[in-house]
Amino acid sequence: MNDKQFDDFLQQQLQSSSPYLDDGDFSARVMASLPGQKVQKRLHPWVERLIACVPVTLIAVLVLGQFPLRDFIQPIYAWLITFDMSSLAPLIVVLALVLFAIFQSLSSRRLSLF
Amino acid sequence: MSLSDQELIARVVSRKDQHAFAQLVLRYQSPLRIWARRLCNGDTHLADDLAQETFMKAYAALGAFRAEAKFSTWLYRIAFNIAANRWRAKKIEWCELDENEEIEAEQCSVKQYHAQKDVEAAMQTLSAGQQLAIRLCYEDGFSHEEAATIMGIPLGTVKTHIARGKQKLQSLLASWQDALPQ
């Protein structure tokens, strides 16, 4: 075996016996350990809600402040004051009857269970 | 299409692109971990720890990397330095690189098993320095100069390691002479 042949033989045998190591989680561990890889800290859920709610509330207050609310509320208030409550009497009677019927059916069902 | 080492390194340096560095880690994790295992006498946990530290140091110093050498040579060199430092601090059982130290060659008769098995058995009879030099040049494909850079020893010493190692291997693997094509 001359030198060249032996070199080729040795190279072939060593290279073919060299295993490939599966990465597994090695790369992930390396990347996680690099500087500048900050772990994202999750905020408390209530803090997250507060962060979302505060700007929404502020914007809502600002938008509502632009509306002529007095012009909107005053007619409703006036209508409530001048409303004739006696005209609601038939409606109240009908509602009372419906509620009574519902109550009766529920109580009879409860009795049948025992 | 995969980017070259140089392109990936440029991205890491200029944009701090960690995705590019992840590709470099994936590309070199296997050879570097094998190299680390050789340096740690086969201790896989220590070797992975060493390889991880190597990549971290490489990331931190990537801006100083000059393309005069191959990226793999540079990585291997960093790993070698870390291992040497740990050895000095007695944290790992280091492979002895003393040129004069010759491990007693177990004159195991090379039997006609499998060529790879025989080569591996013969390799075990070499000194650590001879093994590392031969593996770097024949297994990993580095030149003698690159192996000298990685091991931090003069080129002449690498050549001596290889010549002596090969001489011993040739005598131990003489029985394979007939099996080789002429």
Give the pLDDT score at B108.
Answer: 38
Contact A13 B33 (CB under 8 A): no
Rounded to an integer, the average pLDDT of B7-30 is: 91
ipTM of the complex: 0.71
- Record: contact B34-A1, CB cut-off 8 A: no
Query: CA nearest B48 in A: which residue?
Result: A26
Q: What is the pTM of this model?
A: 0.62
Tell me the per-residue pLDDT of B30-53, one tens digit each, with 9 for 90 and over.
999 999 998 888 889 999 999 999
- Report the C-alpha gap between A13 and B115 in whole angstroms: 7
Give the residue-averaged pLDDT of B98-107.
Answer: 42
CA closest to B141 among chain A residues? A11
Say if CB B146 and CB B69 are below 8 A apart. Answer: yes
Within 8 A of B33 by CB-CB distance, chain A residues are 21, 26
**B99 within 8 A of B133, measured Cβ to Cβ:** no
Long-range contacts of B112-121 (CB under 8 A, 24+ apart): B112/B175, B115/A9, B115/A13, B115/B176, B115/B179, B116/A13, B116/A16, B116/A17, B118/B172, B118/B173, B118/B175, B118/B176, B119/A10, B119/A13, B119/A14, B119/A17, B119/B169, B119/B173, B120/A17
How far away is chain B from the Cα of A41, in angstroms, using its nearest Cα?
A: 20
Task: Say if residue B112's pLDDT is above 60.
Answer: no
- One-letter amino acid at A109 equals R
Instruction: Please tell me if residue A21 touches chain B, with a CB cutoff of 8 Å.
Output: yes
